[in-house]
Structure 1
């Protein structure tokens, strides 16, 4: 394993984040803080509890997951797309670096940025809403697994994209709507029976539900199923990345 190459890619990507800290860190935290102000403080104070949890506290896992998914995809996709756009991807492919080391560098940096953001949002939430974390270890497991999985997914999107517009298509038109419909702001048990069954086809439901269980011990879906879902998606992304580098799809054209 070429740890020097991994460290070089990782440090380069992290340096890019700190050069644009306003866009990379401050902006998502500020946007999420507005959700806490509007939904947590303004609307939440006029709503009853959900599963024994105040509405303001109930939406914290959903808001963290919303930011985590979007930022993981965005960081990883932009990180690998820029070398493709600039043409330096060929230098990377011809260097004595395996695809595993390339993926570890880019995905590791993207996941680190996303987890930093998730922790910052968690700390910021304390300013607006009191909350407790019932299972901190499992919360960290969900945070890490989600960040790594969707960073891998974003890496695939970055390899697939032919222009900057395509980088935003899946996050904006698929991931964000699925997150809003995945129980980020409500329990799917509040839906009519038919829609509850339909909601179970939304993969984000399992992420939000499992993450919420680590906070409050309540969830819409069994936590074991939630863990299995995220691990299954992680394995699928790993298989897709292996196939891309094995065949050279979107890399050697």
Structure 2
């Protein structure tokens, strides 16, 4: 494996992150803090507990997932789209860099960024609510898997997008609504019977459910199913990325 190429791509992407730290880091933390104020204080004053957990603490895993998913997609999609836009992607394709090495560089950097944002938002939440983590190792595992899987999805979106508008199309119209409807601010068990069944077709439900279990030991679906769901999603994204590099789809045109 060409580790020098992986380090070069990774360092370039991380450098861009730190050059735009206000947009990349401060903005997500501030927006999440507003969610804590609005949902935790305003709505939390009316909903004291959900399944024995204070509402302010209950929404923390959902807020972290919301930020991690959107930031993972955004960072990865822009990271690969911009080289396409300016034409520098052809330097990567003509260099002795394999599909795996390119993915490790671009996706690894995007996943690292979203992971850091997730940890900072977790630290920020302690200023607003009393929070304990029942299964810290499982929490980190779910966080890493989510960062990697949605960075892979963002990588695919960045390759597919033909312009900057398409770059935002899937995150805004599909991913963000799925996250909001995936139990970020409520438990699926609070829904009427038929809507509980409908919610189970939302893949984000399994991510948030497993992540929330790692905090409070509470889950809308079994933890094993949540792990299988995220593993299947990650595998599917890897398969698509492998096919893209094998065929050159949207890369060599």
Normalising by structure 1, report the TM-score: 0.99
Would you say 1:193 and 2:208 are equivalent positions? no
Q: Deviations over 1:138-168 (max 9, x none)?
A: 0000000000000000000000000001110
Q: Which residue of structure 2 lines up, in the alignment, with residue 216 of structure 1? A: 216
Q: How many Å separate the matches in 2 of 1:211 and 1:241?
A: 26
Q: How many Å separate the matches in 2 of 1:99 and 1:182?
A: 33
Q: Which residue of structure 1 lines up, in the alignment, with residue 118 of structure 2? A: 118
| Cα displacement (A) at 1:45 | 2.4
Q: Which residue of structure 1 lines up, in the alignment, with residue 169 of structure 2? A: 169
Contact in 2 for aligned 1:41/1:128 (Cα 8 Å) = no
Q: Which residue of structure 2 lines up, in the alignment, with residue 8 of structure 1? A: 8
Secondary structure of the 1:46 match is: coil
Q: Deviations over 1:121-142 (max 9, x none)?
A: 0000000011110000000000
Q: How many Å separate the matches in 2 of 1:75 and 1:106?
A: 9
Q: Deviations over 1:19-45 (max 9, x none)?
A: 000000000000000000111122212
Q: Which residue of structure 1 lines up, in the alignment, with residue 229 of structure 2? A: 229
The CA RMSD over aligned residues, in Å, is 0.6
Q: Which residue of structure 2 lines up, in the alignment, with residue 244 of structure 1? A: 244
Moved more, 201-210 or 39-48: 39-48
Q: How many Å separate the matches in 2 of 1:8 and 1:89?
A: 14
Alignment of 1:74-89 (within 5 A): 74-89=74-89
Gaps of at least 5 residues in structure 2 are none
Secondary structure of the 1:215 match is: helix
Alignment of 1:40-189 (within 5 A): 40-189=40-189
Gaps of at least 5 residues in structure 1 are none
Q: Deviations over 1:74-115 (max 9, x none)?
A: 000000000000011111100111111000000000000000
Q: Which residue of structure 2 lines up, in the alignment, with residue 203 of structure 1? A: 203
| Cα displacement (A) at 1:48 | 2.4
Q: Which residue of structure 2 lines up, in the alignment, with residue 23 of structure 1? A: 23
Count of paired positions: 253
Q: Deviations over 1:207-248 (max 9, x none)?
A: 000000000000101010001000000000000000000111
